[in-house]
Chain A
Amino acid sequence: MTAVQAAVRGRAARGRGADRGVSFLLLPALIPVLIFSVGPLLYGIYLSFTDARGGRNAVVSFVGLKNFGEVLTDGDFWSSFKIGLIWAVSVTVLQFAAALGLALLLNSDLRLRGLARALAMAPWAMPPIVIGLMWRLVYHPNAGILNATLRDAHVIGHNVDWLNNFGTALPAIIVVGVWTGMPQTTVVLLAGLQGVASELHEAAAVDGAGVWRRFWSITLPQLRPVIIAITSLDFVWNINQFAMVYALTQGGPGGRTRLPMLFAYEEAFRYGFFGYAAALGVAITIVVLVVLGLYLWRQMRENA
């Protein structure tokens, strides 16, 4: 670097003399993330092109696109992936609708607001495993409160085994997913609502716009960036969900709730197909990025 360049750089950034100091401050945080997160990520992509197995001294050889070819024709994976998409999309949409309603209520002056706020936070503080176990108790065929209540109300004649029934297992865990994700979504939407300029509302009210009209024409458009951000994040979190479903159903009955993460976990750590499971990870990432990209692109275009 020439002296002139150095001088320019030095002037451009205030206190560049401390440059070395800055990198020393960054290193302690940077090194573990690089070694145990960025590195494995790249290594994982490499593994997806190999036949790596779980054994300690297994010889790893490069197999090109073989794993991906198998992914494409693996019926079990695709049915698991379909379940994952149904799960992630339904939970994200329902979560958003429920959280928006709650955020609107919390944003108006009602009694019991504090209680609702505290309750809405509860799932956040709970270990996902405990959430799963708790809902197992709710859904339990004989000792659960759901069957007892529905039977008392004569909605059902006999006890239903919600989590072991082919037809009811997925809807049952979707309800739990919605319950679990309420806090983040509600908090973020509430923060967004509090940022909506009240002058706009007042002006619209003076002009005679009703509550619904103001919601559609002022609140929603103003919330739009927040909505896009939180629904995208929710979608990614949901499709990567593992612990809660593991505690609820372990993927059963007959794979009806086997989300892609559970499927890949079994391939890797039950059967030891490391290379194949890495390829599954890559495939899931690509599809998530495509879905997210399409969603964001559509939202941006509508916005413009």
Chain B
Amino acid sequence: MSKPLKYVALLAYLVFLGFPLLWLLSTSFKTQREMATLHPRWIPHHPTLSNFTDAFSTQDLTGSALRSLVVALSVAVITVVLALPAAYALARHRSLLNRVAIGWVLVSQVFPVMLIIIPLFMILRRLDLVNTLPGLILVHVTFTLPFALWMLQGYVRGVPRELEEAAAVDGAGRLRTLVRVIAPLLTPGVIATLLFAFISSWNEFFFALVILKDPDKATLPLTLVKFTGAEQAARLGPLAAASVLATIPSLIFFAVIQRRLRSGLTAGAVKG
């Protein structure tokens, strides 16, 4: 294929991938009057920030954003704390369990969550965790763990075993080796896994929909969907503004770790 043709193709991709994002941004700066009356156009007629303030005042956006933050941070920390020792054990001791764990990561992709959510809902109800944030955190941790484990054990394998042996020869105890030698080398992997768990939880909708019935408990995705309830043209501005705001945290995180996450995924893939 000739070079100009390639550029045309690349441009087409850029347009397809980029235009919905630009339209979302453009809509979030439009006045209610412009939405209701004017022929839609890319540049807002009288750009305004009122949609963003509206979004915060009319719906309980601040509250649900805070709840989402609490849930996602808890999920990230708990997932890594639980997964790190297991990842270390799996990476250093090749065993049957190792293969079973990796197999479960794959199998859990195939089974529809529908099959799991009903019994899970019944269990949570018995534990009085339905309609609570701890209940949602519990479920998110359970479903983030397998993949986090897989990511982390890839990183552990990246740390040469010889380093540990060398430290042992130098007289360092097992714990000391872990803290002084292994932990620093694992930091990038741990950060990537934390962020992966955070984003998965922040974005998650289905479990939240089933578990959190009370509007006072709603996380951000649940509150956002409520905006579609009354979809007159006038409500579209705040809807767009809220969507933009909801994307910002994960977009920032993603920009920071993009390269790391990618290498983490492939590290796990190659060495798994």
By a beta-carbon cutoff of 8 Å, the part of chain A in contact with chain B is 13, 15, 18, 21-26, 28-30, 32-33, 36-41, 43-45, 47, 52, 56, 98, 101-102, 105, 108, 110-113, 115-116, 118-130, 133-138, 140, 142-145, 147-148, 179, 182, 187, 191, 211, 233, 236-237, 239-240, 242-243, 246-247, 260-261, 264-265, 268-269, 274, 277-278, 280-282, 284-285, 288-289, 292
Question: Could you tell me if B40 and A242 are in contact, using CB atoms closer than 8 angstroms?
Answer: no
Question: Could you tell me if A284 and B110 are in contact, using CB atoms closer than 8 angstroms?
Answer: no
Sample of 29 A–B contacts (CB below 8 Å): A38-B104, A40-B123, A47-B119, A52-B118, A110-B10, A111-B7, A118-B258, A125-B199, A125-B251, A125-B253, A126-B251, A127-B250, A128-B221, A129-B224, A130-B224, A130-B246, A133-B225, A137-B240, A138-B20, A142-B40, A145-B19, A148-B40, A269-B210, A274-B118, A277-B114, A281-B115, A284-B112, A284-B114, A288-B112
Closest to B94 in A: A13
Query: Which residue of A127, A140, A277 contacts B203 across the interface (Cβ within 8 Å)?
Result: A127
Query: Which residue of B14, B120, B123, B243 contacts A133 across the interface (Cβ within 8 Å)?
Result: B243
| A136 to B243 Cα, complex, angstroms | 12
Question: Could you tell me if A137 and B27 are in contact, using CB atoms closer than 8 angstroms?
Answer: yes
Question: Could you tell me if B93 and A18 are in contact, using CB atoms closer than 8 angstroms?
Answer: yes
- The listed residue with most B CB atoms (<10 A of its CB), out of A41, A47, A137, A211, is A137
Question: Could you tell me if A243 and B10 are in contact, using CB atoms closer than 8 angstroms?
Answer: no
Question: Could you tell me if A261 and B114 are in contact, using CB atoms closer than 8 angstroms?
Answer: yes
Question: Could you tell me if B21 and A122 are in contact, using CB atoms closer than 8 angstroms?
Answer: yes
Binary contact readout B146-179 vs A (1 if CB under 8 angstroms, 0 otherwise): 1001000000000000000000000000000000
**B266 at the A/B interface (Cβ < 8 Å)?**
yes
Residues of A within 8 A of B269 (CB): 191
Binary contact readout B92-108 vs A (1 if CB under 8 angstroms, 0 otherwise): 01010100000010001
Tell me whether chain B's interface is mostly helix, strand or loop, or mixed. Answer: helix
| A13 to B240 Cα, complex, angstroms | 58
Closest to A233 in B: B109
| A149 to B111 Cα, complex, angstroms | 41
Question: Could you tell me if A137 and B23 are in contact, using CB atoms closer than 8 angstroms?
Answer: yes
Interfacial residues of chain B within 214-251, with CB under 8 A of chain A in the complex: 220-221, 224-225, 227-228, 231, 233, 236, 239-240, 243, 246-247, 250-251
Query: Which residue of A44, A127, A292 contacts B119 across the interface (Cβ within 8 Å)?
Result: A44
By a beta-carbon cutoff of 8 Å, the part of chain B in contact with chain A is 1, 3, 6-7, 9-10, 13-14, 16-21, 23-24, 27, 35-36, 39-42, 81-83, 85-90, 93, 95, 97, 104, 108-120, 122-123, 125, 138-139, 141-143, 145-146, 149, 199, 202-203, 205-206, 209-210, 220-221, 224-225, 227-228, 231, 233, 236, 239-240, 243, 246-247, 250-251, 253-254, 258, 262, 265-266, 269
Query: Which residue of B114, B236, B250 contacts A268 across the interface (Cβ within 8 Å)?
Result: B114
| A204 to B183 Cα, complex, angstroms | 47
Question: Could you tell me if B86 and A32 are in contact, using CB atoms closer than 8 angstroms?
Answer: no
Known: A137-B27, A246-B225. A56 touches B114 (CB 8 A): no
- The listed residue with most B CB atoms (<10 A of its CB), out of A45, A120, A122, A211, is A122
Question: Could you tell me if B108 and A37 are in contact, using CB atoms closer than 8 angstroms?
Answer: yes
Closest to B100 in A: A30
Residues of A within 8 A of B18 (CB): 119
Query: Which residue of B7, B85, B139, B262 contacts A36 across the interface (Cβ within 8 Å)?
Result: B139
Known: A28-B85, A130-B243, A269-B210. A102 touches B13 (CB 8 A): yes
Question: Could you tell me if A182 and B17 are in contact, using CB atoms closer than 8 angstroms?
Answer: yes
